[in-house]
Structure formats: C-alpha cells, structure tokens
Amino acid sequence: MPHDHDHDHDPLEQGIALRVRALEELMIAKGLVDPEALDAIVEYYERETGPRNGAAVVAKAWSDTHFRTWLLKDGTAAINSMGFSGFQGEHIHVVENTDEVHNVVVCTLCSCYPWPVLGLPPTWYKSAAYRSRVIREPRAVLTEFGLDVPAQTHVQVWDSTAEIRYFVLPRRPEGTHDLSCDELAALVTRNGMIGTAAV
Amino acid sequence: MDGIHDMGGMHGFGRIPTEQDTVFDHEWQKRAFALAETLAWSVPFAADEHRFAIEQIAPDDYLRCDYFEKWARAVETLLLQAELVDEDELKTGQPTFQITAEKHPPVSADTLVSATRAGAPMTYPADGLRPAFSPGQVVRVKEHAGHGHTRVPRYARGRKGRVVQNLGRFQFADAVAAGTGPDPKFCYRIEFEARTLWGAEACEQDSMLLDLWEPYLESD
C-alpha cells in the first residue's frame, strides 16, 4: 500500500516553518495580530482543553445515573455544567456504547471534533486513511486500533458533517464498582471517547 | 465542491497511522493554528470560509501537506482575497503597503480566550417555520453539488436514509462559506444503512449517521 501522506515530510519542515514565521511577522507588522493573543490561544488549548475533561464527564456519567440520563439527553448542557464549553463544543451529542451498539466518530470532510472535552484532534484522526476508511470498513479500522467488535454488534459510524460534535460514552469496565470518580476517569482514554478503543 | 477533501469511502490510503497520536509535533504548527484563530477576528473570516479555502488547495498539495500547513495556506488565501497582503509580502514577511487598521482591529488575548471559552452557538429559533421532513420519513440526498463549499459528502449523494431527528435550525455552512450567511436552515440527523452506502461488503446491521441541512434533501 502507498505510505500515508498526512504526516510530516522532514525535508519540507524547514520550508513551512519559515513560511509560517514570515506570515506571523507580517501579520504583527501589519497590525492584524496581537502577539500576546497568539501565545494565549495556544496556552488555552493546551491547559484548559484535552481528554482529561472528557474523562471527567465519562466518570461522572458512570457514577451518577441522573447525570448520565441528562448527558445522553442534552449533552451540551450536561457538559457545560462541569465547566467545559467553547468553540467546537457549542452543540455536543453524546452517544452511548452498550452491549448491542458500538459508536465511532469521524469527520470525513475535514477534522471536526469536540474541542472542549477532547482538545484538538490527534494526527491520526485527521489522516486520509482514517477519514476514508472508517466509514466504509469500520470493523477493519477498529481492529487496527486493537479493538475487535463482536460480529453481532451494531456498529454506528457518526460523520460530523454539520455543527454538532459527537462524543462517545464508553461502557464502564467490569469490576470497577469500588472506584472513585477520579479513579474511573483515569481509566478513560481519548480513543475510548472517539470510539476507537473500548474505554 | 467535488474536491480531494471529500475522501470518505476512497480506497488506497493504507493503514491508519495509529501511532501518530499527538496534536502538535512542531512549534510552527502551534503558530499556524494560533494565526488562524486570531486572524479569524481581524480579517475577519468564518470557520466555513477557512474550510473552503483548504478545500481549494490543489489535490496533490492537499495530500502532501501537513494538516497545519493547509491551515496556514488557507489563511494566506483569505488574506489575499481580502486584499490585506500581496504575494511578495507573504514571501518576505515584510510589509510593503498599509491597511486600514480600524477596519481590521487585532483581537486581544483576553477577548480571544474568553470568547473561545464561551463558544458561539450556531442555532436559530424555528420562528414558526415548518420543517419539510419528519422523523421516520425516508428521504434522498440530492445529487446536485455546485462549485462552492458544501457539507454533503459525495458518498451520500443520491442515497436514501431515514430521518432520525429534526435538530433545529442551524446556520447554513454553504451560505456562510459563500459570504451570504447565516441563512439558517433546518438540519436533520439521517441514518443510512451501511449496505445502502457500501453494498454487500458492509455488515447488515451496521449504519451511518450524518447531519444534513434541509436543502441537501428531497422526499423519496
């Protein structure tokens, strides 16, 4: 198979790094950008967003039946109640994995993703291979992630084509009834909330 | 537009690069991201306009470029379209002409972060308008797609699905990208049987869900 084209090509790195630097200098010189805003927005995404937010949502849903019901009915409001909100999270729908249904999320057209609860997407989520294949052969793709879905399970693939962003509520692992919310959250992975891992 | 970005269902891209699980690998990627987020305010441009600019990158470049390089290139395109820069300036990083600064004020760090944290909902009240389709109804995705930005993937066109839910009125991406937004339209969650889309190679019980605006759909 051809190699994947979405990763960095080292010989080009210097070229694009210079090009972006020139753009930044030009934008500051022209007064279109406040340099402090550039630093602030990167810091915001790195510090305030990320999968730990989503993991806290999942742990709360596993621990609190009322919250789980609310989360599945109005994901945006339930997630906002935990302090997670913002761009690419204005409209979030939470889909629940069960014994019968496995959900997996993609954006075939670009890279739509629920930023407030998962942060910015990882490179593989934006890759041509994932975007092209997970809708057509989801089970083969999930196997590449190490997840084998039983033949009788209903696989639902969600393509983020409009303004709603999708978030998967994984199944709570067996034998975790004694764990605290923090301990439960530590079990949850980013891929589990995309649907490419069990938890 | 029927661009390379619309790659759902294509063959030939190989295995998933599951090991590439970071967000940023280089400092310039962070700068490219941050430039897009800040310039969206001062140029200004909407996310859909930025997406459309990415879609118009030539297909061979689209496949070869790093994700954040595409973000930076799209920003350059939008700056050129707004006549805020010229090609020479982009090459050198040195300004050769002044812009009307009061028309393009830079966003401050505080404003940007607080607005980002708050988000900007894209819904509109129904205003007594009647949705054309109802839950349970079978609809067909229209075949037509023009040269502009659209959020109908090619693989769904002409296919039949079932309306799961009317999601309400949302700003219409096609109009926003064309600069004629928000032009809100009802948006529906449509479920397609996997075999309707992919034939017998798909599992019988599997399905796909897409959110599609009303102008994309017609009655079966």
Q: What is the pLDDT along chain B (220 residues), one digit of tens a residue?
A: 999 999 999 999 999 999 999 999 999 999 999 999 999 999 999 999 999 999 999 999 999 999 999 999 999 999 999 999 999 999 999 999 999 989 999 999 999 999 999 999 999 999 999 999 999 999 999 997 789 999 999 999 999 999 999 999 999 999 999 999 999 999 999 999 999 999 999 999 999 999 999 999 999 8
By the CB < 8 Å criterion, does B54 face chain A?
yes
* Percent of chain A clearing pLDDT 70 (strictly above): 93
Cβ distance of B27 and A17 shorter than 8 Å: yes
Does pLDDT of A93 surpass 90? yes
Distance in angstroms (rounded) separating the CA atoms of residues A63 and A84? 18
ipTM (interface pTM): 0.97
Q: Which residues in chain B are contacts of A141 at CB distance < 8 A?
A: 16
Q: What is the pLDDT of residue A11?
A: 53
Confidence band for A5, pLDDT divided at 50, 70 and 90 = very low
In a mutational test of the B interface, the residue from A28, A33, A103, A109 whose CB has the highest number of chain B CBs within 10 Å is A109
- B164 sits in which H/E element: strand B160-170
* Strand partners for B186: B169
pLDDT in tens, A126-144: 999 999 999 999 999 999 9
* Percent of chain A clearing pLDDT 90 (strictly above): 93
Residue in A81, A85, A111, A127 annotated catalytic: A111
By the CB < 8 Å criterion, does A84 face chain B?
no
Residue whose pair of structure tokens reads 């982009």 in the numeric block: B90
Q: What is the pLDDT of residue A117?
A: 98
SS3 A141: helix
- B92 sits in which H/E element: helix B87-92
End-to-end CA separation in angstroms for chain B:
24
| Closest Cα in chain A, distance from residue B59 (Å) | 12
| Rounded average pLDDT over A36-55 | 97
Q: What is the pLDDT of residue B146?
A: 84
Structure tokens given for B55 = 């879609």
Confidence band for A12, pLDDT divided at 50, 70 and 90 = low
| Axis crossing angle, helix B67-81 with helix A10-29, rounded to the nearest 10 | 30
Cβ distance of B9 and A155 shorter than 8 Å: no
